Amino acid sequence: MASTTILSLALSLVASASAQVIYATSYNDHAVTALNLKGSTLSVLSKSYDCGSEPTWLTLDYAKSVLYCLNEGWGGNASITSYKTSADGALWKQNILPVLKSPVASTLFGPDNAALAVAY
């Protein structure tokens, strides 16, 4: 039993080292896209449309597997969307907070990255 556990742990480490997830946003398709980077090849893992019409900036809290997305909101309302991320590229929406128009950049700060600063 113990040896089985060790084996599966080793396998999951290999899996995460051989592939990398890249997150990207675009005004064109209004999506947050998770891409798999393997060697020099990119492939789409998932797309989310939960960051409004102008997803513009992403901040990743890698340790907590949380991704924050800013929606600039030119045509509608601006917002911040929080996602839980997973190694397979799935994005799980946690919250959407309406904010002042035109947020364009953010950074995490504070103890345990408990706060997000936003420039408008």
Partner 1 sequence: MRHSRWHTSKSDEVERESRTVRSILTCRSDTSSFGTFSVGNVAALSQLQKETYTLAAPGPVADRQDAPHLHHAILDPTKKYILVPDLGSDLVRVYKINGTSVWAVAPVKAVPGSGPRHGAFAVAGSSTFFYTLNELTNSITGYTVAYKDAGPEFTRVFDFSSHGPGGSVPKGTKAAEIVVSVSDLLLRVAS
Q: Which of 12, 37, 74, 76 binds partner 1 (CB under 8 A)?
A: 74
Closest CA to 22 of 58, 50, 64, 63: 58
Q: Which of 64, 76, 87, 88 binds partner 1 (CB under 8 A)?
A: 64
How does DSSP classify residue 71?
E
Residues 12, 68, 105, 50, Cα dihedral to 10°: 120
- Return the number of the residue (36 or 102) whose C-beta is nearest partner 1: 102
Region binding partner 1 by CB under 8 A among candidate stretches 5-13, 35-43, 44-52, 95-103: 95-103
Closest CA to 20 of 85, 113, 106, 70: 85
Interaction site with partner 1 (CB under 8 A)? 64, 66, 68, 72, 74, 80, 82, 84, 94-95, 97, 99-120
